Structure 1
Amino acid sequence: MANILVIGGSRGIGRALVEQLLLQHHAVWLACREPEHANDLHAAVRFRWDALTEPFPREQLPERLHGLAYCPGSINLKPFSRLNEQDFLRDWELNCLGAVRAVQACLPALKAADQAAIVFFSSVAAQTGLPFHASIAAAKGAIEGLTRALAAELAPAITVNAIAPALIDTPLAQPLLSSDSKRQQIADRNPMKTIGAAATVAALASGLLTAAQPFMTGQVLALDGGLSRLR
């Protein structure tokens, strides 16, 4: 059984990850802005943390952490001409600087474990040019650089990997999936002609966090129906 912290675990991919880890009988700590939305996940230790405005409550952590998943993200799609500096700063702070704050707060507990893993979330937009994605692509590009730098610095005791999905069917994505026609347009963009499920992404994250004999680090794993690689 591993001790794993999931940040942003009350909705979407983070919630699916918490559910899967609990089913696997791991001890799960869940940090999010509104922990009351995760009251049904009563087997997890739930506490509040706003990555944008609050210092991390280190006192909530166990002595040893075997895994950390940073799941907060944003979907800020606008033409480049309509993006301002605050848009770029807000996306970067939530997606990248929040991850930095989390890792720095959790690093002593991660180092106290014999082997530990960190999982970040990027986006297909970071390596595949997509219109209207300038702000989120810049923020997630920073996460991919952070993934490789930390993987090099923290090896061999701590693995660091990132998952780069296409649009996933989550509450965050609902404005883009609000009609059958929108859903079909999104699905048609990738060779698999489907929209990814949160549980699919969570299963990959769970494997990265709990691998008994880890032999992967510094990788950005595409989970996008082939969108970034196939034509």
Structure 2
Amino acid sequence: MKNIVIIGGSKGIGNAILLQQLENNLVVNISRNAPEITHPNLTHFSLNVLEDVLPEIENVDTLIYCPGSINLKPIASLSIDDFKNDFEINVIGAVKAIQKYLPVLRKGTDPSIVLFSTVAAKLGMPFHASIATAKAGVEGLVKSLGAELASVVRINAIAPTITETTLAAGILRNDRMKENMVERHPMKGYLKPEEVASMANFLISEHAKSISGQVFEMDYGIVTFKI
């Protein structure tokens, strides 16, 4: 039974990971809102990761940082604060969590970290300047820490395409937009949170013990294929 800390596990992909892990592991969730579930294996701390002091946790084998943003605007409409806010949510929050829990992670069993990027960090997409810049920072963090912690803690990232979550509700707000999104992807689909959670589950498992410093695109072919 692992001790898993999920930051941002009340909604979306983080919640899907939480639900898949609860039966077999001890899960600590840290987010502003509590998950809509109670379970003997679940402990929740309500706080703002960027502003509040993170709780002391005695045992941590896995850290998963899920908070993100979808801030899509033309470059002329993006303020400096937009860039700062996206960078803080996606990068600074992850750094804060890693620095807090790295001492206990080092003592964990097969310790690992999972962060989240986006396909927009590799595929040039209009109106993604702020979020793509922030997520590129996440990917750089994964590569650097993968090397720095190579003999101690594994760290990887998942870069999903659009995923059906509340965060993406504005992009998938009606059937026509959903159909258009399906057609944009060569494999004719887009992600469900459970699909991404399954990749996270693999990356924190013993089956991935040889993998670190990698960014895994879950893209339904939109980055990989030109058809």
Which secondary structure state, in structure 2, belongs to the residue aligned with residue 162 of structure 1? strand
- Please, which runs of 5 or more residues in structure 1 have no aligned partner? none
User: Which residue is equivalent to 2:15?
Assistant: 15
* TM-score for the superposition, normalised by structure 2: 0.96
User: Which residue is equivalent to 1:52?
Assistant: 50
Distance in 1 separating the partners of 2:208 and 2:65: 22
Which secondary structure state, in structure 2, belongs to the residue aligned with residue 146 of structure 1? helix
Q: Is the 8 A contact 1:187 1:193 kept in 2?
A: yes
Distance in 2 separating the partners of 1:41 and 1:123: 30
Aligned pairs (5 A) from 1:82-121:
82-121=77-116
Which secondary structure state, in structure 1, belongs to the residue aligned with residue 22 of structure 2? helix
Q: Is the 8 A contact 2:105 2:111 kept in 1?
A: yes
Aligned pairs (5 A) from 1:1-231:
1-23=1-23, 25-35=24-34, 38-43=35-40, 44-58=42-56, 61=57, 63-211=58-206, 214-231=209-226
Q: Is the 8 A contact 1:70 1:121 kept in 2?
A: yes
| Deviation for aligned residue 1:212 | 5.1
Cα shift readout 1:162-200 (whole Å, capped 9, x = no counterpart): 000001001111111111111111111111111210000
Cα shift readout 1:117-148 (whole Å, capped 9, x = no counterpart): 00000000001100000000000000000001
> Match of 1:22, as an amino acid?
L
Q: Is the 8 A contact 1:126 1:137 kept in 2?
A: yes
* TM-score for the superposition, normalised by structure 1: 0.94
Cα shift readout 1:29-82 (whole Å, capped 9, x = no counterpart): 1110112xx141333111123122112122xx1x22110100000000001110
Distance in 2 separating the partners of 1:41 and 1:17: 15
Q: Which runs of 4+ in 1 moved over 6 A?
A: none
Cα shift readout 1:72-116 (whole Å, capped 9, x = no counterpart): 000000011100100000000000000000000111110111420
| Deviation for aligned residue 1:213 | 5.9
Distance in 2 separating the partners of 1:211 and 1:7: 22
RMSD: 1.1
Distance in 2 separating the partners of 1:185 and 1:130: 16
Q: Name the structure where helix makes up a greater proportion of residues.
A: 1
Identity of aligned residues (%): 41
Which secondary structure state, in structure 1, belongs to the residue aligned with residue 170 of structure 2? helix
Alignment length, in residue pairs? 225
Q: Is the 8 A contact 2:6 2:63 kept in 1?
A: yes
Q: Is the 8 A contact 2:112 2:155 kept in 1?
A: yes
| Deviation for aligned residue 1:14 | 0.2
Distance in 2 separating the partners of 1:73 and 1:213: 24
> Match of 1:122, as an amino acid?
S
